[in-house]
Chain A
């Protein structure tokens, strides 16, 4: 395969344009990361001016970006297919609790990751085999798994048996990079390669862009949806494992702040909720800006409530400033103006 570009909207001009500027314009028209880049620039400027400590204590910031980014990466795989996994935050919590309830660290981690895969399989089963809308199916799973995390942990944080491993996990391994960041970087590279160079991953775009056409083209849509949900379940469980190791305890309420931030990261990164468009690069940019924003707010002593307001507003802005949303809004306004000035429809 020689064509390694990320397939985007079919409306993008696809013919080879002469001249560097024209070629640049074609490339820019295909990219979807603009809003994430803008948000990152704004956040960087404001944070540099008011709270430069965010960058001197970059280990905290990078750790936050890694946690948001990891969950958002898994979400990206699912959203690209036009589905949604609302259960990620609860998967994070329940896998953490499962891990902490094992005496042996290795067995705990393996059990947690297996649980993540299993949750992905269950989600995909309800979405693609039974045929429930993924918003509702994974919302049911969100409540179910959150409840399961409470039941398994007796409604309080479970302490990790092997605390030393958790402390060792927070130490830098290579240069300033802690294992958490290394895992995130590896996951990012793996998913980027998977979605752009591997056939199975590239078919995710086809499934999300036009599912009927994907069926007709012989793409095993059902299996791809299973793969996508398993990726997101596995990655969320991985985030749960990392979170538990770093805190040396599993909190059944963990992940509720990650949910909102990771959705915002993926959506502002240009991943279209209807599927078929987006890139892990955009998600990385979105996760970086939101991670920096969260750490900056925390360091300047802003309460969690206000942070929720800020992140919630960013998510709301992210969905309404999506190019498709803006187009829909323009269409609505046009229809409204026409209905005021033009002839009224009869009958």
Chain B
């Protein structure tokens, strides 16, 4: 059958109309906040910290901020894929970071570094496959799925290790990685920036990255376009798992120790960084580079709170508020854009 050729009934907007539309949408505060606010906020926060917080602008403190930011940042960069694919978040990074750290130190102590890395990669792929299959194939809710895999994973890790702390040898590649630094920059920070650039390339320049973004903005359209959507979701979760594994390596190398409780709080810190950076929890929109900025914001904020003597509870309250506030701005911006 040959389709009848006819003039498209679609209204093609003229230049004048578009200009008018742009002018109408010229300035909406919530939209501007959601898209550009992070640049101003991060600059303002750093300026505030330098002026009013004693000890913030010292070299040891800045190195400390970098050391703590790097593993969270690597985790957040990978989790950005899950958020952009429209699946909210990957809570199980807490279990994954700790597992990777413990595997790296414990197995390299007895069987050498290469085997440890291989085992860690296998575990990360398994996490990505389980989370991705439950969410992508069974269309189960990502929050519930990753909540249950967190409990399973952490339970397994604590059961196997008995909650004991593993120490790496005082010499060797792990220790060397954790202590090397270039000026104020620890090696972990360079790994973080490299991971961000690579993942940013994957998200913006590859077919896989394009389908992740497409799936996040319109699932049905992506499916109709012939994309194998379960594979996209499994891929996004695998990205998150591999990044969480790398984050675990970096965290373990930093202190040269590993314990099952070392990654507590990574779930909401990473989520806060992603959302504050401007990646939308509604899916489809966001970037890994923005997550980098969000990580800087969250890390500086945490450092300010630590320097002011606030405990873990108060920090958790602040980050919880930050998440709700940032998502509120995002939601209001969407309302403003669609109304």
Contact = CB atoms under 8 A, between A and B. Distances in A.
Q: Which 7 A-B pairs have the closest CB atoms?
A: A150-B313, A144-B320, A147-B316, A147-B317, A312-B151, A143-B320, A308-B155
Interface stretch (B53-61, B62-70, B121-129, B327-335): B327-335
B3 interface: no
Interface stretch (B19-27, B71-79, B142-150): B142-150
B321 A144 contact: yes
Contacts of A308: 151-152, 154-155
Contacts of A324: 139
Interface in A239-259: 252
A298 B228 CA distance: 44
Given A135-B88, A319-B134, A336-B228, A86 B143 contact: yes
B138 A143 contact: no
A315 interface: yes
A198 interface: no
B268 A332 contact: no
B312 A155 contact: yes
Nearest to B223: A335
Contact of A319 (B144, B158, B281, B314): B144
Interface in B132-185: 134, 136-141, 143-145, 147-152, 154-156, 158-159
Contacts of A260: 147-148, 151
In this complex, the interface size class of chain A, counting residues with CB under 8 Å from chain B, is: 35 or more
Contacts of A130: 328, 331-332
B214 to A, nearest CB: 15
Contacts of A328: 137-139
Interface string A74-101: 0000000000101000000000000000
B149 A84 contact: no
B286 to A, nearest CB: 14
B282 interface: yes
A307 B152 CA distance: 9
B309 interface: no
Q: Which one of B144, B228, B321 has the highest number of Cβ atoms from chain A below 10 Å of its Cβ?
A: B144
Interface string A103-142: 0000000000000000000000010001111011101111
A133 to B, nearest CB: 6
A326 interface: yes
Interface in B245-274: 268, 271
A130 to B, nearest CB: 5
Contacts of B150: 312
Nearest to A325: B138
B230 interface: yes
Contacts of B332: 130-131
Contacts of A136: 88-89, 281, 323, 327
A147 to B, nearest CB: 3
B141 A319 contact: yes
Contacts of A145: 320
Interface in A300-347: 303, 305-309, 311-313, 315-316, 319-320, 322, 324-326, 328-329, 332-333, 335-336, 339, 345
Interface in A28-64: none
A46 B37 CA distance: 57
Interface string B215-232: 000000000011011100
A147 B313 contact: yes
A140 B321 contact: yes
Interface in B289-339: 311-321, 323-324, 327-328, 331-332, 334-335
Nearest to A336: B228
B230 to A, nearest CB: 5
A29 to B, nearest CB: 22
